[in-house]
């Protein structure tokens, strides 16, 4: 399946709400929360769209003023589109977007029983830092994980002494 990545627009609210319904059993965003995320200045929403213009994945980054840490606030792929590399591609693009905004660290929380997501995060270089008891609505704990975002810079010869 061909898919492209693009920024989210206010008009994507319904599509994201339906995607969340397909992806999460509980702890989902309301339409109002999604609409807010899509219009927030300090958020980046990246959508994966199929060639039939169906939203098949998305991730949201949140940024805070005066902070070099970005937070991965939401991240999911449509069950029908999983296992084909889209999650990894989307996560890489979100990481790149955080770097472009000057972030030096990416932080996230993941359900302690979510082996697939944790495996992906680990293989992408995230490290589990903190155990958060009773973090989700159903009482499940979370791991807080983070990744240092290296700034790729070309050495400027004039700055070498």
Q: Which residues bind ligand COA (CB under 6 A)?
A: 23, 75-77, 82-88, 110, 114, 116-117, 119-120, 123
Rank residues 43 and 110 by Cβ distance to ligand COA and give the closer one: 110
> How near is the Cβ of 24 to ligand COA at its closest, in Å?
6
Q: Which is nearer to ligand COA, 65 or 123 (CB)?
A: 123
| Least Cβ distance, residue 134 to ligand COA (angstroms) | 17
- The CB-of-11 to ligand COA minimum distance in angstroms stands at 22
CA angle centred on 88, ends 112 and 150, rounded to 5°:
90
Give me the half-sphere count of Cα atoms (radius 13 Å) on the Cβ side of residue 80.
8
Which residues, including other chains, have CB under 8 Å from residue 20's CB and lie 6 or more apart? 28, 29, 34, 74, 76
Work out how close the CB of 154 gets to ligand COA at its nearest, in angstroms, rounded to a whole number.
28
């Amino acid at each position: 399946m061909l898919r492209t990545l693009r920024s989210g627009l206010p008009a994507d609210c319904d599509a994201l709400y339906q995607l969340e319904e397909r992806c999460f059993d509980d702890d989902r965003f309301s339409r109002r929360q999604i609409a807010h995320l899509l219009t927030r200045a300090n958020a980046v929403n990246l959508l994966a769209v199929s060639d039939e213009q169906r939203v098949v994945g998305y991730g949201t980054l949140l940024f805070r003023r005066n902070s070099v840490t970005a937070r991965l606030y939401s991240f999911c792929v449509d069950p029908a589109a999983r296992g084909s590399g889209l999650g990894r591609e989307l996560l890489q693009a979100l990481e790149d977007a955080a770097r472009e905004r000057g972030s030096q660290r990416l932080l996230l929380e993941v359900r302690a029983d979510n082996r697939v997501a944790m495996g992906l995060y680990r293989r992408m270089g995230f490290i589990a830092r903190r155990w958060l008891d009773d973090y989700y609505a159903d009482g499940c704990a979370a791991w807080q994980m983070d990744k240092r975002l290296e700034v790729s810079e070309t050495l400027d010869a004039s700055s070498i002494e």
